[in-house]
Amino acid sequence: MSNVKKMWCELTALLLALVMVCCSLLSCPCRTHAAFIKKTSETDIKEISDKIIVLVNEERAKEGLKPLKAVPYLNDKARERAREAMTKFSHYRPRWDGKPDDMDNVFFTIIDENLIPWSRIGENLAGGYETAEETIEQWRGSPDHWKAIMDPNYTHIGVGGGYEKNSAYGYYWCQIFVEYDRDKYGPLDNEYIPERYKTVPVDTGDINGDGEINSFDLITLNRYLAGVTELNDLQIASADTLKDGTVTSADATILRRYILGKYKSLPVTMDMLGL
């Protein structure tokens, strides 16, 4: 075979190989686009779980509903339920005593009611998708699951997930919703609201994080005090203009006086006020 012909055959084989690779990539289902680098670490799963909560609250906000507060304990239990779903994809937990499913192994038995004295509880399960967006869309496609996400009476949420390569769905996700009486029992330990874009105040009084202290910060603070909006931990620390560990109308008064020029700097401590 001549060198020219040999080179032409090798080039043709290479082109055919490239075409075959491209065709195989194009034929892959969309949900496996990241099949070569799967997000399987605990950190990855935690980030995706938090993003699911962010998306849930964004969808609730569109309907005028209050955001659900995440609770680390509920997140842990949701992650445990996601692992259980790898064995038994059901709202009943796996059991090994041979007995039929009943109230002894229903999903909410995983929750210690002494820690979370809930009045209502619900659960969503999903499987097969790697991203928060795809998982939310999977739930959106089911009226019953979406109804739970949009339930106006739920107050707190836990989300967890897991990945098992040789399982039926690969990725598993669980949401646990609870209705909790904060007025009766007080805030739950370390409750928080995950945010897509975390506002980072520059200093005391810069509540909206724009680097300036003005009437917009006062409006934000008043909306928070009225229960209309939520603040993250850094914003709450910035709103505490008295640095007494709480945010009240007194902090709003101090901020207003600072904006009007009555005070030259923030924070204004109790010692500065002579109290």
pLDDT tens string 124-182: 999 999 999 999 999 999 999 999 999 999 999 999 999 999 999 999 999 999 999 99
Q: Give the residue, 86 or 4, on which the prediction is more confident.
A: 86
Going from the N-terminus, what domains does the chain have, and what CATH number goes with each?
Answer: 42-197 (3.40.33.10), 215-273 (1.10.1330.10)
Cα(133)–Cα(135) distance, rounded to whole angstroms? 5
Per DSSP, the chain holds a count of helices (H) and strands (E) of 9, 4
Q: How confident is the model at residue 41 (pLDDT cuts 50, 70, 90)?
A: confident
Do residues 109 and 193 lie in contact, with contact meaning Cβ atoms separated by under 8 Å? no
Residue type, 242: L
Closest CA to 75 of 149, 180, 158, 181: 158
pLDDT at 272: 72
At 192-202, the pLDDT tens digits run 998 776 678 89
Which residues are paired to 161 by β-bridges?
Answer: 173
Residue 16 has pLDDT above 50, yes or no: no
DSSP string, 128-180: S--SHHHHHHHHHTSHHHHHHHT-TT--EEEEEEEE-TTSSSSEEEEEEEEE-
Longest dimension (CA), the chain: 100
Q: Report the range of poorest mean pLDDT among 22-31, 96-105, 238-247.
A: 22-31
- Report the alpha-carbon distance of residue 124 to residue 78 in Å, rounded: 10
CA distances from 84 to 31, 127, 268 (A): 23, 12, 52
Q: Token digits for 13? A: 């084989």
Taking only the tens place, the pLDDT of each residue in 67-114 is 999 999 999 999 999 999 999 999 999 998 989 999 999 999 999 999
Q: Mapping DSSP to helix (H, G, I), strand (E, B) and coil, where does residue 92 land?
A: strand
In a 10 Å sphere around its CB, with 0-12 CB exposed, 13-18 middle and 19+ buried, how is residue 150 labelled?
middle
Structure-derived torsion over alpha carbons of residues 171, 164, 79, 147, reported in degrees to the nearest 10: 30
The pTM for the full model equals 0.64
What's the rounded Cα separation, in Å, for the pair 212 and 208?
Answer: 9
Contact present, 132 and 58 (Cβ < 8 Å): no
Check pLDDT > 50 for residue 266.
Answer: yes
Q: Tokens 């998708």 label which residue?
A: 129
| pLDDT tens-digit series, residues 186-223 | 999 999 998 776 678 899 999 999 999 999 999 999 99
Q: d(Cα 105, Cα 93) in Å, to the nearest integer?
A: 5
- Among 227, 229, 226, 248, smallest CA distance to 239 is for 248
d(CA 129, CA 249): 46
How far is C-alpha 45 from the geometric centre of its chain's CA atoms? 11
